[in-house]
Structure 1
Amino acid sequence: MSTETPTIPAETANHVLFHFGYGGYQAGSCIESLITTIDRADEDNRDKLALGFPEYVAAVVAIKYDPNGVANLQRIAGGSA
């Protein structure tokens, strides 16, 4: 995966927050399936998904592996980032 971290839009943050039960709002069925796929993917496949959906992969990785990920995504979702 690229070493550059993509900017996560507020809509993406809201979709990922909702998926993981931290607020936000639900995405449509296609995007919800994409988030589920990213959530379940191993690192190699997640890197492949990042080629087409870098913002969603960055948001899922943040919420799963960054101790401040939820708070950061909530800040982005609220328009504070």
Structure 2
Amino acid sequence: MSTNSPSVSREVAAHVLSHFGRGGYPAGDWTESLISLIDRADMTNRAKLMAAFPDYGRAVLIAKYDEEGVATLQRIAQGETVAVASDLNVPF
């Protein structure tokens, strides 16, 4: 497992968890719109958004495509140090 991916902060994890209804706390309007866009984007536009906002992009991908993604984000939001794999096999 490689861990040289964008890090996910406690705040980002909490915002993404809130977006998916799994805890955390809500982001502001602009940031919530960003998370929603990343969540709904096709592969081309998701890649563009992730280039500009890698931390939010990574957190959304973890939540959506990693079997333990929600639990991982919950641990990050609680302040635990968690290694996040960079080799998620997900559509960008």
Same fold (TM over 0.5): yes
More helix by share: 1
| Structure 1 residues not aligned, in runs of 5+ | none
The superposition leaves residues 27-74 of structure 1 with CA deviations (integer Å, 9 ceiling, x where unpaired) of 000000000000000111111101110000000000000001001000
Q: Secondary structure at the match of 1:21?
A: coil
Return the TM-score normalized by structure 1: 0.93
Which one-letter code corresponds to 1:40 in the other structure? R
What is the RMSD of the two structures over their aligned residues, measured on CA atoms? Answer: 0.7
Q: Secondary structure at the match of 1:46?
A: helix
Say which is worse superposed, 27-36 or 43-52, in terms of deviation.
43-52
Determine what percentage of the aligned residue pairs are the same residue: 56
Measured in 2, the distance between the counterparts of 1:70 and 1:62 equals 7
Return the TM-score normalized by structure 2: 0.82
Q: Secondary structure at the match of 1:37?
A: helix
| Structure 2 residues not aligned, in runs of 5+ | 82-92
Measured in 1, the distance between the counterparts of 2:45 and 2:5 equals 17
Measured in 1, the distance between the counterparts of 2:26 and 2:11 equals 10
